[in-house]
Amino acid sequence: MGFLWYLTIRIGGALATIAAGSFLIFLIMHLAPGDPALAVLGESATTETIAAYRAEHGLDEPVLVQFVIWAKMVLQGDLGKSIALAGKFPISDLLVTRLPNTIFIGLYGLVIALVISLIAGTAAALRQGKLVDTVATGVAVLGISMPDFWFSYVLILFFALSLDWFPSYGFTPPGESLIGAFHSGFLPALAIAAPMAGVFARILRASLVETARREYVTAARSYGFAAPFVFIHYVFRNAIIPFVTVLGLQVRYLLGGVVIIERVFGIAGMGSLIVDGAFARDYPVVQACALTFLAIVLSVNLIVDIVCALLDPRRTR
Amino acid sequence: MSDVTLTLRNLSTGFKMGGRVMNVVREVDLEVRKGEMLGLIGESGSGKTVTGMSILRLLPENAVTEADTLDFLGIDLLKLSTEQFREMRGTRLAMVFQDPVGAFNPAKKISWHLKQVFERAGTKSPAHAERAKNWRASAIKLLADVGIPHGANVMRQYPHQLSGGMLQRTLIALVLVFEPELIVADEPTTNLDNIVERQILRLFRDLQKRLDCAFLYVTHDMTIAAVLCDRIAVMYAGSIVEIGPTKQIFADPKHPYTQGLLASALALDTKTERLQEIPGELPSPGKLPPGCLFEPRCKFAKPECRAKEPAMVDVGGERHVRCVLYGHG
C-alpha cells in the first residue's frame, strides 16, 4: 500500500465523517426544544405569521429535505443568518472575524505546550528517577489537575494586575497587529497550554523510557555509536510516533478549553460565539460553530495521521 | 597454547533491586581463544545472556558487574571509562542479537544502517576509512558475501519489509563491516525456521573463519553447539558447571546436568527449552540452594553435596567439572 493510496483513504474517511457529523449536528438542533420561528417572531406572533415564516424558511419540509437544503447552502459557503445576534447578519461574516482569533490562540497554546513538554519530557526521561524527573513529573501533574479558569485568574492576578506585563482583558486580533496578538494572547495561550503541556510531557517521557528499552537501542550501542546519536536517531525518532498520535487526540480538549478561556479573557472567538449563540437560542449560529469545530478536529486528525505516516514507515509501506 | 583473546576471572553480575544486589551470574571463569568458537549453553534464566552482555557492558544501568580479570588482548576492560569502552564496541567487540527484526531501527532503511556502520567502522583503520568512502559499493559486495545477491534492492527496504533470515544475514554483514576480534552471538537463530537456521549457522562458521576472531556463541540448543562450537561451557543457575572440547563432552558428559541436557537434546524437539529429562526447575537467583546448585534436581545427590558449592575440578584433556563425583579440586 503506497503513501498516496493511504492519503486518499484518509481524506475520503474525513469527508465521510464530516458529512455524517454535519447530519448529526443538524438533527440534534432539530430535536432541541424550542421553535426557531417562535424564537425569531417572539411570543406575540400569531399562528398565521408563524406558518408564513415556516413556509418562507422551509421549516415545514421533512427534516431530510431541510438537511439537504442546508448542506447545499453550506457547500456554497452560506451558513445562513443569525437569528438573535445584533444585526442578524450572515454567519459567515461572523466566522471570518471570530475564527482567526480562536485558531491563533489555539495554535499559540499548542506551540507553548509543545515547547514545554518536549523540554520537560526529554529531561525527565534522560534523568529518570533523579531530581529533574521528580520535579518535571510533579509540575506536569499540577498542570493537568489545575482547573483552567482558576489558573487563568492566577495568571491575570500575577502577570497582569501585579506585574502589569500583559493586559488582563481583551485581545488584539492578529489581523490588526501581529505583535499585539502575541502580547495580548500570551496569558490565554499559557492557560490553555498548561494542562496540555502536562499531558504531553508525561506521554513523551513514558514513550522515551519505553523506547530506550528496545533491542534496537542496545544494538545501536553495540556498534559503539555515541550516546547523543543513539538518543536522537533511535530513541527519540521512534518515541515521537506514539507522542504525535496522542497529541492529535488532545486537540478536542484544546477546543473545550478555548470556550472557557475566551470567556475569561474576553476574546471575540469561536468559543465565546458558541456560548453567546446557545444562550440566545440562536440555532443557526450554534450549528455553524459546531460544524466548524468538527471541521477543525477532523483536519487536525488528518494532519496528525499524515505526519504519523511520514514518521512511521510501517503504516504505509 | 593458542592465543587467548578474552579472559574472564571470577566474573559476577547482578541487578540492584530495592537497595541490594541480586546476583544472576556468579564467579564465572572463561577463556575465548583466537579462531575458536566457544558455546555457552544453558536453560533460559541460567545467566548465559547476561554473561555475554556483561562483557560488552550492554546491560541496563541497574546492573553491577564485578570481576578479578576482564582482559581483552591485553587490555583491562575493567579499567576503561565509558567513553573508552564505547570506542571498543563495534570496532573490536561486537554482538549479534537474538531477534533480528528487533535489532533494526524501524524508522530507517537498511541503507541507513549500513551507512552509519561503515562510517563508524571508518575510524578503525585506513582500509576501513577507504571502504566507508565508497560505502554503497562496499555494502553491496558485503551483502553478496552473506548470501544476499540483490543488495541494492534490499538496501532500499525498511526492516519490516524483510524476512527474519534476510535481516539476520544483514546483521551479520554489519558485524563483518567492523571485522571485530571478538563476537558475542546471543541465540541468533532462535526466531528463524529450521532451513534458514541451518543457512545462518553455516554463515556464522564462514564469518568466524574469515575473520579468524574469537567467538562466544550463546545458546540453549545442544545440537547447534555440537555442529558449531569447538568448546562448550555449560551454565547452570549463573555458574559454569562443565567446560571442555565439544567432541569429548558429547562423547562423555561428566556433570549430571550436562548428561541431562544431552539426553533431552537427543530425545526432544530442540526448539523448546523445557527439559523433560531433568525434573524440577532452575532455582531463582534469590533462593539458591546452600551447596551444589544442581543438587535438588540431581539423581546422584549425596549429603555432602549440600555442605558447600563444589569447586571446579580439572579432569584432564582440558576438561573441568564442578561436581564432587570427580573429586574436590
pLDDT band at B276 (very low <50, low <70, confident <90, very high): low
Could you report the per-residue pLDDT of B33-59, keeping only the tens digit for each? 999 999 999 888 889 999 999 999 999
B120/A313 CB distance under 8 A? no
Could you report the per-residue pLDDT of A77-103, keeping only the tens digit for each? 887 777 766 556 788 888 888 899 999
What is the reported pLDDT for A55? 79
Mean pLDDT of A193-212: 92
- The answer, for B18 touching chain A at a CB cutoff of 8 Å, is no
Amino acid sitting at position A5? W
* A/B interface, count of CB pairs below 8 Å: 71
| Residue A121 burial (CB count, 10 A) | 26
Q: Tell me the CA end-to-end span of chain A in Å, nearest whole number.
A: 6
Grid coordinates in use for B200? 545462518
Q: Which residues of A touch B174 (CB under 8 A)?
A: 223
Do A309 and A162 sit in the same domain of this protein? yes
Could you report the per-residue pLDDT of B28-38, keeping only the tens digit for each? 999 999 999 99
% chain B with pLDDT above 70 = 96
Is A87 part of any domain?
no
Could you report the per-residue pLDDT of B76-91, keeping only the tens digit for each? 999 999 999 999 999 9
Do A37 and A149 sit in the same domain of this protein? no
Mean pLDDT over each residue of chain A, to the nearest integer: 85
Nearest by CB to A219, which of B88, B97, B161?
B97
Could you report the per-residue pLDDT of A286-313, keeping only the tens digit for each? 888 888 888 888 888 888 888 888 888 8
Ordered by start, the domain boundaries in chain B are 4-92+180-283+315-322, 102-179
For an interface test with A, the pick among B105, B112, B158, B184 (most A C-beta atoms closer than 10 Å) comes out as B105
% chain A with pLDDT above 90 = 23
**pLDDT higher than threshold 60 for residue B268:** no
The DSSP bridge partners found for residue B25 are: B13
> Cα A69 to the chain's mean position, in Å?
28
Mean pLDDT of A102-108: 91
**pLDDT higher than threshold 50 for residue A247:** yes
CA distance, residue A227 to nearest chain B CA (Å): 9
Do A77 and A103 sit in the same domain of this protein? no
Do A254 and A157 sit in the same domain of this protein? yes
Give the structural domain span for A8.
3-81
Burial of residue B100 (CB within 10 Å: 0-12, 13-18, 19+) is buried
What is the reported pLDDT for B329? 60
Which alpha helices (DSSP H) does chain B contain, by range?
48-55, 82-88, 110-121, 126-133, 135-145, 151-155, 164-178, 194-211, 222-228, 246-251, 256-267
Is A194 part of any domain?
yes
pLDDT band at A200 (very low <50, low <70, confident <90, very high): very high
- The answer, for B99 touching chain A at a CB cutoff of 8 Å, is yes
For an interface test with A, the pick among B57, B62, B86 (most A C-beta atoms closer than 10 Å) comes out as B86
Do A137 and A242 sit in the same domain of this protein? yes
* CA distances, A162 to each of A157, A158, A159, A167 (Å): 6, 5, 6, 11
- The answer, for B107 touching chain A at a CB cutoff of 8 Å, is yes
Residue that is last in its domain, among A47, A81, A115: A81
Is A279 part of any domain?
yes
Is A86 part of any domain?
no
Could you report the per-residue pLDDT of A142-155, keeping only the tens digit for each? 888 888 888 888 88
- The answer, for B86 touching chain A at a CB cutoff of 8 Å, is yes
CA distance, residue A211 to nearest chain B CA (Å): 11
Could you report the per-residue pLDDT of B98-142, keeping only the tens digit for each? 888 999 999 999 999 999 999 999 988 898 898 989 999 999 999
B90/A311 CB distance under 8 A? no
Do A108 and A38 sit in the same domain of this protein? no
**Number of folded domains in chain A?**
2
Residue that is last in its domain, among A62, A81, A100: A81
A215/B99 CB distance under 8 A? yes
**pLDDT higher than threshold 90 for residue A271:** no
Could you report the per-residue pLDDT of A154-184, keeping only the tens digit for each? 888 888 888 888 887 888 888 888 888 888 8
CA distance, residue B118 to nearest chain A CA (Å): 10
Q: Which has the closest alpha carbon to A313: B162, B101, B107, B105?
A: B107
**pLDDT higher than threshold 70 for residue A19:** yes
CA angle A288, A292, A277 (to 5 degrees): 40
Is A250 part of any domain?
yes
Could you report the per-residue pLDDT of B207-241, keeping only the tens digit for each? 888 889 999 999 988 888 998 999 999 999 999 99
Do A117 and A247 sit in the same domain of this protein? yes
Q: Which residues of B touch A220 (CB under 8 A)?
A: 105
CA distance, residue B9 to nearest chain A CA (Å): 23
Q: Which has the closest alpha carbon to B241: B262, B230, B257?
A: B257
Do A119 and A205 sit in the same domain of this protein? yes
**pLDDT higher than threshold 80 for residue A56:** no
Residue A202 near residue B74 (C-beta atoms within 8 A): no
Do A118 and A253 sit in the same domain of this protein? yes
CATH code where residue A280 lies? 1.10.3720.10
Residue that is last in its domain, among A81, A107, A123: A81
Do A11 and A104 sit in the same domain of this protein? no
**pLDDT higher than threshold 60 for residue B182:** yes
**pLDDT higher than threshold 80 for residue B273:** no
**pLDDT higher than threshold 50 for residue B164:** yes
Is A286 part of any domain?
yes
pLDDT band at A1 (very low <50, low <70, confident <90, very high): low
Q: Would you identify the CATH topology of the domain B4-92+180-283+315-322? A: Rossmann fold (3.40.50)
Element (H, E) at A234: none
What is the reported pLDDT for B1? 45
**pLDDT higher than threshold 90 for residue A230:** yes
Residue A239 near residue A210 (C-beta atoms within 8 A): yes
